[in-house]
Amino acid sequence: MKKRWILNFLLLCVVAGLVAFLYLRPKHVVQQDATYEISNYKLSDFNAISVEFPAKAAVTFEKVKGYWRLTAPYQTRADQLSVERILSIIAAKTQNKIISTDLEKFGLKNPSIRLKLFRDKNNSEEFLFGTHNPVTEEQYVAYKNAIYLLPNSYAESASTQVIEMIDKSPLKPTEKVIGFDFSHLEQWEESGLNIGMVDGKWHVSIAKAKPQQNDLNEWLDYSWVHAYAKSVELYTPDRKATYPSFEVKLADGSKVHFDKIQESPELLLARPDEGIEYHFDAEGGFNMLNPPINLPK
């Protein structure tokens, strides 16, 4: 009995010692890689952008009444998401930060892109894009007094073809639609189709039509408010050419004129006031010009 008690006491001492060792031993600090934030700015801090290249014209943007416009080499509405992708560099993070004055070593003495973000005319942030790291395939980007390794996506966003940075929506985000005059399109010329919203309800000029309010609301939302062209191109009206046309009526009393350049195999709509031609697929284009007014067969 005494021997068993001694054995239990020894085992208790061993366990207590092990617990004390585990508790009192030096703690190993796990060193995590440092993460560097490029800047503390927000997208809303900037109101102008300049993307400069060594061998081609600069691309510039300006925020007007809360929306970005392309100001060079063309003057037109900009695709808002494309501009935000350019600005997103201010929120970039990286684990690679280099302090060096040898810009040539990183291809930054003659950068492939010089990106300037303006808070106002006298205050701007400048980013220089250099060569790529052969191991990580990331790009060296200089900002202020440091060089960072960043994914290629930032340079790709800044160097997107200008035509792709034009807004592909046929309507401005500030344009509130209250009606359409389709009477100068071939399929509606005889009936003189006009549709409009009065006191929150749609009215159709064709007496036989039996429009459903929900159908027309969905048509406006899907086919116009949230319609985006497959592609766009610059458009210069030909004074010698006459195209079928229609007008979109706006809440402020103004109208937007569209020329229908082509209907098949894709719909081509041109907006002369903005100098843009929009390309829509055949099905989407058909829906745009043929509202669901529920005519009897």
Instruction: Convert the pLDDT of each residue in 23-43 to its tens digit.
Output: 444 443 333 468 999 999 999
Which among 45, 54, 188 has a CA at the least distance from the CA of 119?
45
**Domain of 60?**
36-162
pLDDT at 32: 44
Together in a domain, 201 and 260: yes
Together in a domain, 156 and 239: no
Q: Are 162 and 250 in contact (CB under 8 A)?
A: no
98 found inside a domain: yes
The structure tokens listed for 10 are: 């020894």
248 found inside a domain: yes
188 found inside a domain: yes
For residue 46, is pLDDT > 60? yes
Mean pLDDT of the chain: 90
Together in a domain, 155 and 269: no
For residue 65, is pLDDT > 60? yes
The structure tokens listed for 136 are: 């990580």
Could you read off the pLDDT of 143-170 as tens digits, one per residue?
999 999 999 999 999 999 999 999 999 9
The DSSP secondary-structure symbol of 167 reads: -
Together in a domain, 278 and 243: yes
pLDDT at 13: 52
pLDDT at 296: 85
11 found inside a domain: no
241 found inside a domain: yes
Total structural domains in the chain? 2
The structure tokens listed for 215 are: 């159908």
Together in a domain, 181 and 158: no
pLDDT at 146: 96
Q: pLDDT confidence of 11, banded at 50, 70, 90?
A: low
With the C-alpha atoms ordered 7, 13, 16, 17, is the resulting torsion angle positive or negative?
A: negative
Give pTM, 2 decimals: 0.83
Q: Are 146 and 125 in contact (CB under 8 A)?
A: no
6 found inside a domain: no
Could you read off the pLDDT of 179-202 as tens digits, one per residue?
999 999 999 999 999 999 999 999
Together in a domain, 153 and 239: no
Helix, strand or coil, per DSSP, at residue 78 = strand
Question: Contacts from 39-42 at CB under 8 Å and sequence distance 24+?
Answer: 39/90, 39/91, 39/125, 39/143, 41/90, 41/117, 41/125, 42/90
